[in-house]
Structures are given as C-alpha cells and as structure tokens.
C-alpha cells in the first residue's frame, strides 16, 4: 500500500509541474507561435511530455510502474529534467546578477585534466601542489590559498613556523620578500589578486605577524609596480594598490630597476648605499657573474638578497630571517621557450651590469639561485597563462589580455625545476592545444632540439639549471617518476557564484543560460533569438562543450548541496 501511495504522490508532482508548464506555455506564447521555439517554452513542452509518458506507461504494465516509478524519478537525468523545467518556470527569466566574472572571454576556462601522481621512490622525490578553480568572487584568491595550505599541511609542509610546527616555512617575525614579475602589464605580470591574498595570509600568522613584507622585482628598466593595466580581475589594481591596502602593517614595494646600474659593496664592507653587488669573476660553466640587490626598506630594514638581514647593532647578518617567495607567471618565451620559476630569477640579477640573459642557456639562473637566496617556496601563477608557442604569434613573455588563456590554477613547490617541468607539460601544452596550436615543441620540457627562433630549448636550459642546483645539494628533478603531485580545488566547478556551496543560485544561472551557445566573437554565450539576459558567462558551460545543455544542469544537480573550502 505504501509503494502505491508513493507512486501516486510522484505522479501528482509530475502532474503539477505539467499543469504549470501548460499554463506557462499558453501565457508566454500567446498569439505569437514563433515563441514556441524559445528555451523556456521548450522546457515547458518537455515537462508536459514527461507527464504524458508516465500516464501512458501504466497501460503497458501498471504493476511494474508502481514499483519502479520512485527509482525512475530518483535517477540523475530525470531529476535534472524536473529541476530544469521547474527552475525555468519559477524564474521565467527572473534577473540574477552574477558577480563572478566580467563580460569577457578572459573567463572561458581551458579544460584541464590535472591528475595526482605518486613518485616511484619517495626518497629523493619532490612534492608539487596544485589548486584548480582558484579564482573566487571578483578574483579573490583567499579560498585558493586556504586550499593550498590545507593540501600542503596534509603532506607535512607547514606554511607557518610556530611553536607546534618548528619546521614551518615562515615565522612570525620574518622578513618575507615576495618576488613578483612587474616587467610587463596586463597578463604578463604576476596576478595582483594572487599577491593580495598571499600578503593577507602571511599577516594572519597564527602567532601574530610582527615581521615585514616586501614586494619586489627588477624589470630591467621596463618594470613598474604601478601598471595602469595589471593582471587582475580589476585591471586597474596594481601591485602598489595592493600594498597600499595593508598600510597599517609593515608592507612595502621595491622596484630594483632604479638601482640596476649602480655597483655597490655589501653591508659588511661598510657600504650602506642601495645598489647591486656584482661578483668580479665569472662561473666557468654557466658563464654568470652573480649579481644581487641590497637595499633599505621603507621601515629601515637593511636587506642583502644574498646574505639576509643586516643588524647594525651586532654588525652581522641574519640569513634565516630573510625568506623569499618566488611568484612567477607561467608563460611562453620567445628566446627560451617557457618562463616560470627558474627563469623568474632574471628579475633578481642586473642585466645591464652582467648580461645574464645570454647566459640563461648555460644554466646561469640555477647558479644565481645557488649563490644568492634560494626561495623558501615557489608559488606559480597559472591563472592566466600565455600558451602561444614560439611557432605561433603572440608568444610571450609580454602577454595581452586577449592573448592569455584562463586555466585558473595555482601551483606550489619547494622545487622550482619540478614545478616548471610539470606545469609546462600538463598546463601550458594542453592550453596551447586548446587554442588550436598544432606545433608547440618550444613549450615541451622533454624536447631538446632548439626550435627555430629560440636561443636555446626550454629542456636544455632547465636541465642545466637543475644540474647547478643538484650539485649544490638542492632537491630538484625533471623526472616525473620522482614527483609527488597533489591536486585539490578552491571551489567546485559547479559553484558558479563562488560562495562556497552549490545551491539554488547556481541552478538559476544554468537555467537562465540553458540552450545558449558559445560566440567566437566575444567569448560569451547567447540564445538565438537572444533572451533579455544574454550574454551568459563562460563559467556556466561546465563541461566546456560550447553549449549550455542538459549535461551542465546534470553536473549542478549531482553536486547540489556540496560545500567547498573557504578561508
């Protein structure tokens, strides 16, 4: 008896949906039959057909229907159809304002398939951490950093040094130098949204942060920490703007371009001028004359990039108090194939005093890392990447908004070589393929021959840099069998409004966009004829097939009610 009542209730529910659908169809179509092709009307017709089907099936086998109807209605696709129809009718195209992305094809997500992997031998292996779906509301990266720290700590790598975690990376009174890329505007520089969340995370040290943060780079005469067009959700948000939001803390910027041509001695030689210390001899293998900046911060802290924090009272350095976080952008490069963590140290040296750029091919930046300050942590900005290889136009390192691909990933590792290798192979190359490139050997970390137009192949310069680091005792590798890869997500892809949960608002977004197709011209999704809420944002195309369809709604229905990590 209970099964029969349950089946009857389900039929009544279907009937109610069908009745409302019929009323909606009549009211909205009115005297214009052409409206019958609108997405809302099509959904209404589908609901009516579903109800009629259920009514007709009993004529074939009523007994079987009573037993199977509840399970049929619980099937994901059936649920999806019901949810879609009900939503569209309930909304009727009710306005829903998205605050995730601007109307721009910047946010057409490149579908990646980042998969965790374990090293064949844990001894002598490197840990790599990747966070997908990193960007939150208005580009906020706080949730991404929380997810990153969570997955790192699960593997025993603690971001904060505390009493309970003495091996942690950053202590409460450290001076943290955040090395960014400020040489290029638009997508060529490090994401200012990423740096903002990084600074906020450091300042929220569990024991209270009393140290100092310096955001710095040498753009070799073309750099700026105050670009009018920056790599951010809000294009006008520069590095200086980010730092200014933390004015109540010891946070500042330093543009080393201004001292790149001034040769000085280090503090222990009695020289307190800002400038570059340059070795008098050249490395015989990598042909590098090591150079590094020394400077006084806005808060009267004396920093030597090689030796650490200078203490005037004791006339000595504190090397362990200076911590470097290396935050490059993953991009193609017109001379060396790819630029990421290792190549990013080109912003530490003085090009005008040493001509280091021509020595990169011999592994010079590996030497620079060894003989100055090796980064405590590398955080790779792969939110927007330049995946245009040397074989094509728009190759990096300069990257316009239009040339960038939205992969929406951040990576981290203490091994800059492994992070570069894996990210170029599993993020940059798939993004190049997604853009339609068929020749991309210049991006391949396993391809040793020099692609036409390059100074040296990416593989060769990375391998030679790795050898310099290995010879100095650092754990670095280009062998995937020696890499542990951990992949997590800041948000579920179905959490379209990035509020930490998949709910009715996300369903609304798909319902409004249902049936819309991708437009190559503006990168948005449009109905034909367009509805009054067109265009629809690319994030709604969850399966990235360039159509908002039943599969996208099914993904929302599958994840409905799930929550994701928020800071």
pLDDT in tens, 133-190: 999 888 899 999 999 999 999 999 999 999 999 999 999 999 999 999 999 999 999 9
Q: How far apart are CA 406 and CA 541, in angstroms?
A: 14
Can you give the pLDDT at residue 220? 98
Q: How far apart are CA 471 and CA 475, in angstroms?
A: 10
Cα 267 to its chain centre, rounded Å, is 39
Can you give the pLDDT at residue 302? 98
Which residue in 549, 542, 508 sits closest to 527, CA to CA?
549
Element housing 484 (H / E): strand 483-489
Q: Check: CB of residue 376 under 8 Å from CB of residue 429.
A: no
Q: How far apart are CA 91 and CA 306, in angstroms?
A: 61
Which residue in 66, 48, 47 sits closest to 57, CA to CA?
66
Rg (CA), the chain: 28
| Beta pairing, strands 302-304 & 291-296 | antiparallel
How many angstroms separate the most distant Cα atoms in the chain? 99
Q: How far apart are CA 258 and CA 167, in angstroms?
A: 36
382 three-class SS: strand
State what percent of residues in the chain have pLDDT above 90. 66
**pLDDT tens string 394-428:** 999 999 999 999 999 999 999 999 999 999 999 99
Can you give the pLDDT at residue 270? 97
Two tokens at 186? 């638009």
Which residue in 414, 426, 429, 415 sits closest to 477, CA to CA?
415
Can you give the pLDDT at residue 520? 81
Q: How far apart are CA 478 and CA 462, in angstroms?
A: 8
Q: How far apart are CA 231 and CA 239, in angstroms?
A: 9
* Low-confidence residues in the chain, pLDDT < 50: 1-7, 57-63, 65-66, 69, 73, 88-104, 566-567
Q: How far apart are CA 131 and CA 312, in angstroms?
A: 42
Q: How far apart are CA 81 and CA 553, in angstroms?
A: 8
Q: How far apart are CA 65 and CA 48, in angstroms?
A: 18
- Strand ranges across the sheet with 302-304: 275-278, 291-296, 302-304, 308-311, 316-318
Can you give the pLDDT at residue 556? 84
Q: How far apart are CA 21 and CA 46, in angstroms?
A: 9
Task: Using alpha carbons only, give the angle 191, 193, 197 rounded to the nearest 5 degrees.
Answer: 120
Who's near 537: CB < 8 A, 6+ residues apart? 98, 100, 101, 103, 107, 509, 524, 525
Which residue in 4, 24, 27 sits closest to 16, CA to CA?
24
Q: How far apart are CA 469 and CA 36, in angstroms?
A: 67
Can you give the pLDDT at residue 97? 39
Can you give the pLDDT at residue 137? 80
Burial 111-123 (b: 16+ CB within 10 A, else e): ebebeebebeeee
Q: How far apart are CA 133 and CA 546, in angstroms?
A: 18
Two tokens at 414? 């203490």
Q: Check: CB of residue 340 under 8 Å from CB of residue 420.
A: yes
Which residue in 147, 466, 133, 179 sits closest to 305, CA to CA?
179
Can you give the pLDDT at residue 253? 98
470, exposed or middle or buried, with CB in 10 Å at 0-12, 13-18, 19+? middle
Two tokens at 171? 């202590």
User: CA-CA distances (angstroms) from residue 377 to 168, 324, 325, 374, 498?
Assistant: 11, 7, 5, 9, 27
Q: Which residue has the tokens 């710095």?
A: 216
Can you give the pLDDT at residue 109? 85
Q: H helices then E strands: how many in the chain? A: 13, 17
Cα dihedral 345, 349, 352, 358 sign:
negative
Q: How far apart are CA 410 and CA 118, in angstroms?
A: 19
Element housing 4 (H / E): helix 2-29
Q: How far apart are CA 21 and CA 26, in angstroms?
A: 9
Cross-strand bridge partners of residue 217? 255
Element housing 148 (H / E): helix 142-154
């Amino acid at each position: 008896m209970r099964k029969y009542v349950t089946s009857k209730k389900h039929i009544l529910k279907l009937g109610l949906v069908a009745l409302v659908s019929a009323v909606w169809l009549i009211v909205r179509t009115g005297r214009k039959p052409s409206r019958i092709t609108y997405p809302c009307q099509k959904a209404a017709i589908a609901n009516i057909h579903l109800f009629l089907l259920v009514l007709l099936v009993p004529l074939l086998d009523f007994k079987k229907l009573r037993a199977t109807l509840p399970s049929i209605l619980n099937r994901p696709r059936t649920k999806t159809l019901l949810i879609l129809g009900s939503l569209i009718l309930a909304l009727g195209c009710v306005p829903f304002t998205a605050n995730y992305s601007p109307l721009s094809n910047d946010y057409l997500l490149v579908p990646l398939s980042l998969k965790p992997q374990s090293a064949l031998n844990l001894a002598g292996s490197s840990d790599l951490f990747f966070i997908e779906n990193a960007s939150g509301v208005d580009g906020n990266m706080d949730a991404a950093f929380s997810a990153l720290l969570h997955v790192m700590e699960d593997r025993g790598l603690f971001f904060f040094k505390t009493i309970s975690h003495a091996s942690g990376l950053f202590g409460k009174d450290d001076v943290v130098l955040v090395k960014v890329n400020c040489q290029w505007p638009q997508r060529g520089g490090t994401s200012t949204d990423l740096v903002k969340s990084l600074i906020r995370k450091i300042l929220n040290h569990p024991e209270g942060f009393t140290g100092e943060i310096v955001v710095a780079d040498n753009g070799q005469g073309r750099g700026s920490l105050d670009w009018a067009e920056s790599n951010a959700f809000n294009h006008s948000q520069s590095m200086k703007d980010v730092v200014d939001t933390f004015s109540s803390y010891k946070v500042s910027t330093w543009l080393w371009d201004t001292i790149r041509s001034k040769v000085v001695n280090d503090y222990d030689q009695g020289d307190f001028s800002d400038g570059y210390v340059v070795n008098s001899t050249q490395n015989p293998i990598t042909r590098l004359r090591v150079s590094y900046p020394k400077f006084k911060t806005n808060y009267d802290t004396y920093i030597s990039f090689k030796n650490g924090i200078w203490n005037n009272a004791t006339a000595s350095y504190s090397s362990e108090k200076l911590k470097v976080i290396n935050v490059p952008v993953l991009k193609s490069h017109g001379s060396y194939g790819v630029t990421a963590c290792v190549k990013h140290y080109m912003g530490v040296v003085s090009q005008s005093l040493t001509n280091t750029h021509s020595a990169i091919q011999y592994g010079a930046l590996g030497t620079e890392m060894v003989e100055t300050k090796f980064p405590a942590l590398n955080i790779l900005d792969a939110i927007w990447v330049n995946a245009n290889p040397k074989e094509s136009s728009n190759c990096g390192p300069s990257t316009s908004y239009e040339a960038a691909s939205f992969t929406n990933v951040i990576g981290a590792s203490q091994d800059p070589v492994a992070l570069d290798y894996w990210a170029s192979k599993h993020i940059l190359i798939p993004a190049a393929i997604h853009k339609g490139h068929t020749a991309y050997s210049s991006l391949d970390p396993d391809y040793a021959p020099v692609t036409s137009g390059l100074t040296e192949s990416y593989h060769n310069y990375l391998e030679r840099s790795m050898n310099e680091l290995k010879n100095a005792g650092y754990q670095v590798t280009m062998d995937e069998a020696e890499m542990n890869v951990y992949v997590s997500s800041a948000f579920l892809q179905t959490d379209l409004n990035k509020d930490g949960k998949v709910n009715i608002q996300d369903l609304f977004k798909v319902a409004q966009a249902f049936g819309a197709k991708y437009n190559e011209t503006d990168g948005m999704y449009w109905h034909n004829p367009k509805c009054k809420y067109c265009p629809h944002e690319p994030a709604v195309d969850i399966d990235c097939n360039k159509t908002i369809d039943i599969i996208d709604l099914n993904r929302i229905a599958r994840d409905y009610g799930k929550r994701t990590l928020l800071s």
